[in-house]
């Protein structure tokens, strides 16, 4: 994400991750202002950022209220928070367990958590509508089929290049549509919120 933001012209970017391996990989890709840090206990000073992006982070933090308070703290007055999280608790699966998720979110639960942190929600919508129905079907089938034996594994697998390209085109088309409409469901839900001036 930092590489994409840098390519789009954003400056003064900082990245954090709880994984030393993740930070090492980021550094190998030419990112220098990255650090191992707990997203719920930031070492940045108050009012450091105009924008905080938490993409698939909040569901990994047990104390969501603490994380949101921290993200609000490091925002400048008028700054914005962009949060992406997995949607719909009924889609909970072994994939969530292996990835150490504490919860999935409804639009209402994400709005409530952000509002309790004294942030004003400007937009809240679902994302990844295209894959919602296939994902829901797979998740529901996993509930009725016998569970595989052995260690718990997630659902992430490398895709053939053609399939990956096709899915990327679908997501890009969906992203264009999101500029003018909100989808009724999605695999993820996102919120854009603002700290009061």
Residue-wise pLDDT tens digits, 117-134: 999 999 999 999 999 999
Number of domains in the chain: 1
The tens digit of pLDDT for each residue in 9-66 reads 998 999 999 999 999 999 999 999 999 999 999 999 999 999 999 999 999 999 999 9
With respect to residue 164, please indicate whether it lies within any of the assigned structural domains: yes
With respect to residue 133, please indicate whether it lies within any of the assigned structural domains: yes
With respect to residue 152, please indicate whether it lies within any of the assigned structural domains: yes
With respect to residue 98, please indicate whether it lies within any of the assigned structural domains: yes
With respect to residue 112, please indicate whether it lies within any of the assigned structural domains: yes
Structural domain range at position 93: 38-194
Tell me if 121 sits within 8 A of 193, measured CB to CB.
yes
With respect to residue 4, please indicate whether it lies within any of the assigned structural domains: no
Query: Which CATH number characterizes residue 43's domain?
Result: 3.40.50.150
Tell me if 155 sits within 8 A of 93, measured CB to CB.
yes
In the block, which residue shows the tokens 């034996």? 149
3-state secondary structure of 91: helix
With respect to residue 134, please indicate whether it lies within any of the assigned structural domains: yes
Put simply, whether the predicted model's pTM sits higher than 0.85 gets the answer: yes
């Amino acid at each position: 994400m930092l590489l994409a933001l840098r390519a789009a012209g954003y400056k003064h970017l900082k990245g954090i991750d709880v994984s030393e391996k993740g930070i090492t990989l980021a550094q190998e890709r030419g990112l220098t202002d990255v650090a191992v840090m707990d997203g719920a206990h930031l070492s940045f000073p108050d009012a450091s950022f105009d924008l905080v992006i938490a993409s698939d982070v909040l569901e990994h933090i047990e104390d969501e209220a603490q994380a949101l308070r921290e993200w609000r703290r490091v925002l400048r007055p008028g700054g914005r928070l962009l949060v992406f999280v997995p949607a719909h608790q009924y889609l909970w699966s072994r994939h969530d367990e292996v990835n150490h998720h504490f919860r999935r979110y409804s639009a209402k639960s994400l709005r409530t958590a952000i509002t309790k942190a004294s942030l004003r929600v400007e937009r809240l919508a679902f994302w990844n509508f295209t894959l919602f129905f296939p994902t829901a079907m797979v998740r529901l089938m996993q509930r009725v089929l016998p569970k595989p034996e052995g260690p718990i594994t997630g659902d992430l697998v490398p895709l053939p290049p053609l399939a990956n390209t096709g899915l990327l085109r679908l997501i890009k088309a969906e992203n264009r549509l999101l500029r003018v409409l909100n989808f009724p469901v999605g695999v993820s839900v996102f919120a854009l919120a603002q700290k009061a001036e």
